[in-house]
């Protein structure tokens, strides 16, 4: 079974984003690019939005500041 949420990296700007796996594309909140789901660099999947947000913050922490605003 496929998880509902996808934690992925934007192929254009490298920002982390959470996509809903029911949709075929996702607009990056950072660079506003519309990214087809099959071009997202998937990091992890999550079953709910809380888990997805946790994965994003862990991924940001691992990256160590490159992605902070
Ligand atoms: Zn982007």
Supply the DSSP string of 8-66, one letter for each residue.
EE-TTT--EEEEETTSSEEE-TTT--EEEGGGSEEEEEESSHHHHHHHHHHHHHHHTST
pLDDT grade for 69, boundaries at 50, 70 and 90: low
Question: How far is ligand 1, taken at its centre, from the CA of residue 12, in Å?
Answer: 5
- What global pTM score does this model have? 0.84
Question: How far is ligand 1, taken at its centre, from the CA of residue 9, in Å?
Answer: 8
Question: How far is ligand 1, taken at its centre, from the CA of residue 37, in Å?
Answer: 13
Q: Report the distance separating Cα 15 and Cα 22, nearest Å.
A: 21
Q: Tens digit of pLDDT for each residue in 7-65?
A: 999 999 999 999 999 999 999 999 999 999 999 999 999 999 999 999 999 999 998 86
Contact 1, 45 (CB under 8 A): no
Q: Tokens standing for 16? A: 């982390």
């Amino acid at each position: 079974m496929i998880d509902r949420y996808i934690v992925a990296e934007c192929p254009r700007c490298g920002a982390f984003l959470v996509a809903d796996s029911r949709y075929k594309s996702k607009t990056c909140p950072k660079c506003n690019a519309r990214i087809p789901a099959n071009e997202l660099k998937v990091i992890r999947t999550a079953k709910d939005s809380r888990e997805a947000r946790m994965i994003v913050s862990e991924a940001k922490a691992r990256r160590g500041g490159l992605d902070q605003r």
